[in-house]
Each structure stands twice: as C-alpha cells, then as structure tokens.
Amino acid sequence: MSKLRLAIVGAGPAGIYAADLLIKSELRDFEVSIDLFDLLPAPYGLVRYGVAPDHPRIKGIIRALYEVLDRGDIRFFGNVEYGKDITLADLKQHYNAVIFATGAIRDASLNIPGIDLDGSYGAADFVNWYDAHPDFPREWPLNAREIAVIGNGNVALDVARVLVKHPQDMLATDIPANVYEGLKTSPVTDVHVFGRRGPAQVKFTPLELREATHIEGVDTIVYDEDFQYDEGSQEAIDTNNQTRVMVNTLEGLREEPQNTGAPRRLHLHFFSSPVELVGEDGKVSALRIERTKLDGRGGVVPTGEIREIPVQAFYRAVGYFGSPLAEIPFDARSGVIPNQGGRVVAADGSVEHGVYATGWIKRGPVGLIGHTKSDALETINNLIADRANWWQPSVADESAVETLLQERGVAYIDWANWLMIDQRERDLGEAEGRERIKLVERDDFLKAAKG
C-alpha cells in the first residue's frame, strides 16, 4: 500500500475540512500523512479572524474543527509563512501534493470618486482589527458620529452591528482588550447600511438580520419608500423560505417602528447605489447615492435621482478578495487561483500536477462556512483520482520538515503549543469572568506556547 504525504497551506475551515475528508474518504486505498501550515499562530482561519466577537453560536464550529485537529492524525504548523519560511520547492521535496486553502482576507475594490479620502475603509480591514489579527494595526480611528456601510451581505451587517452596538454589551465575548477600549471612545450615533437592491434581494441570513435589528439601546430604522416588490421579487418571496423570513422581518420593522429614543440608530436603506464620497479638507464628509428601482425581474436600474447623506466615515463591504501566492498561478481579476475542480491550472491552460486549491481561494468569497465542506470534497476526490501524477518527494521522512523549519529559525507552533495558547486565553478570560480573551501579539502567542 502506497502512502500520500500531503501539505495543506491554510488552517481555516477549508483546509481542515479537506484534511478530514481525505482521511475519511472511502475512495482512498492508501495511507495518508497530512501537514497543515498556516501563516497565523492560531488555527481556524476565518472562524477566528473573520467572525464578529458577539457571534458565539457561529463560532461553535470551532469545536468541531478542534476535534478534528485534536485526534492527532493531522499535524499543525502555525506561524509558518508560505513563500518565505517554506517554499514550493520545499513542498515538492517533502510531499506528494499540496492543497492551497488560504482563503481571502483583502477587500474587493469599489471604484467611485473619493474612495481614497481619509475616513474611507475596507470592511475586511476593520474585521481584522476587531478580531485581533496579529498582522493588522492595534488601533482603529473611531471618531465619526455618522457612518455609512455599503453592502447587503452578512459582513456589512457585522460591521454595522459592531460599530453601533454599545461596547459593554460585548464584554461577555472574547473581544480583545484594545478593541473594547477603542470602541468605548466612539461617538457614533447613526450607522447607515446601503444596498443597491430591495428587501427581497438582500444577501443577509435571517440570524444576522435579527441580531442586527434587535440590539439593546439601538433603534433600527427602515423607510417606507424602500419596500417595493416586482414580479421577480414576489417569486423569490414565494419560493425561498429564507427570503420570505427576511422580508417578513423587515416588514415587521416597518409596521412597528423602533422609536424608543435610543442614543444610537441603525438605518437600513435599500435601492441606494454609491456614486461618490464627498470630502472636506481631505476627509469624508458625505456619501452621494443614486436611487435605483426594480426592473421587473428582481434586478435594478438607475433612476438618476441623487441624494447626499452626511457621514464622517465610510466602510465598503462589497466582498473579500484573495491574495496571490509565490510561484502559484493567480487570476488577478477574480482574486482566485485558476483551477478546474480544484486542480490548479497554469496560464497556458495546462494542469499543474500536484497543486490543488479549495475554499475561497478556489471559488471566490461566496457561500457560508458550511459550503466549504462540499467544495473540499470535490478537490479531495480529484486529488485521489490524480494518483499517477503526484510528485515523488526525495525526502519523505516526516521529521525532516520539522528539522527544516528549525534550521531556518522558524518559531513554528504545533498542536501541543496551540493547546498551551488556548489555555492561556481561557485563563485570561476566567480572571475577568469571561470565557476567553484573545491574544493579539505574535510574541504573546510564542510566550504562551512555551507555558
């Protein structure tokens, strides 16, 4: 029986699912040895660094990912940067194949005048700040009273909710100390969320919408003019239960307005397309939007009506975007690794034998975390089918990779080290009556890893 030595770059849900599915695959008639590498000193990827602190139910998926890694049949190497600490040549020397599961953490661009003004931000950058990504700044400018968020997906709602929520209400979560202190200084009174289309076309999920519209001390405001439905909208409402639930939730806010006089307000605007950020002294002072209208099929067309909303900060939540990887083909337009069913494809259309992709770097930032599992299964099945084209490593000894990293002075974090870090975060939380408090600095991770 042969053996597959597999490297997976990216220890988020996509990478962990791929490893687990390979181990459990009924198509496999060979032994496997899997090493999981990640740039970060912590596993779990987007679940740890892309989900808002006040989403403990969604973060429950960490428990399932933990159980996969804790079995002991997958090795974890955190704090290892592909392209620097370990290269494609190294992977070919030590493994039969590699799967890239590096996700997408950059913001997609929004090409409107004024987008580069001071006070204009990418939502992904803000998420990385409030989730304590170690490679992002520790401080965030929170000096705006009125804020605009562009986007009608869950990330837009996450960003709006974190901006408008009273920070003391997040103390029960794993919110880092610097993030809590930063949010406490915010003078925000109004957060406006804008979407191009109508209530029947939003990309929120019902849970996200309910959480955003039921925040203590925050009134949610909707506008009668935004409740328009055409034939395409009605069909979506009649045939999709999720759409029906969300429209009913929004209609409920319309029928029973929240007007408690709360000190903070969340405004939900539809049929509003951003056209320009207005500046004053180089800083954001207003957002200009163009009203849209339904085209009969659930899409929208511009009306020519321009409105200006005073805001001092602007967040674009129009999607995530992947980052290129050293020596790996990259589609700069789509932000993905070009592939066919997870098989990486070169610029000339040929298949790069031994190189695979899964997750958002494979298909783009679409779908929920659960969709990642079926995506990984496709890649794994193709990897197994390609057995004749695997690399033939010259150094297949498992200990050789550890030796290589040690010789290069890479302070990698293995699973035992991560359990020490995990306990340290729990101890910090217990001291303040919380489940955990996240570590932020890489040095603190390394100190905790040593106990």
Give me the chain's average pLDDT, please.
94
Q: Spell out the alpha helix ranges (H) of 25-145.
A: 46-49, 56-59, 61-70, 88-94, 123-130
Structure confidence at residue 1 (pLDDT): 44
Radius of gyration of the chain (CA): 23
Tell me: pLDDT of 316 over 60.
yes
Tell me the pLDDT tens digit for each residue of 120-141.
Answer: 999 999 999 999 999 999 999 9
Q: Where are the beta strands (DSSP E) in 196-259?
A: 218-221
Residue 154 · residue 208 · CB < 8 Å? yes
Q: What are the structural domains, with CATH classification, of the chain?
A: 3-105+322-413 (3.40.50.720), 107-320 (3.50.50.60)
Work out the angle at residue 370's Cα, subtended by the Cα atoms of residues 365 and 373, and round it to the nearest 5 degrees.
90
Structure confidence at residue 71 (pLDDT): 96
Q: How confident is the model at residue 259 (pLDDT cuts 50, 70, 90)?
A: confident
Tell me the pLDDT tens digit for each residue of 357-390.
Answer: 999 999 998 876 667 888 999 999 999 999 999 9
Q: What percent of the chain has pLDDT over 70?
A: 99
Tell me the pLDDT tens digit for each residue of 214-255.
Answer: 999 999 999 999 999 999 999 999 999 999 999 999 999 999
Structure confidence at residue 368 (pLDDT): 67
Q: From CA 3, how far away is CA 167, in angstroms rounded?
A: 52
The predicted model gives 317-322 an average pLDDT of: 92
Tell me the pLDDT tens digit for each residue of 46-64.
Answer: 999 998 888 877 777 899 9
Tell me the pLDDT tens digit for each residue of 19-47.
Answer: 999 999 999 999 999 999 999 999 999 99
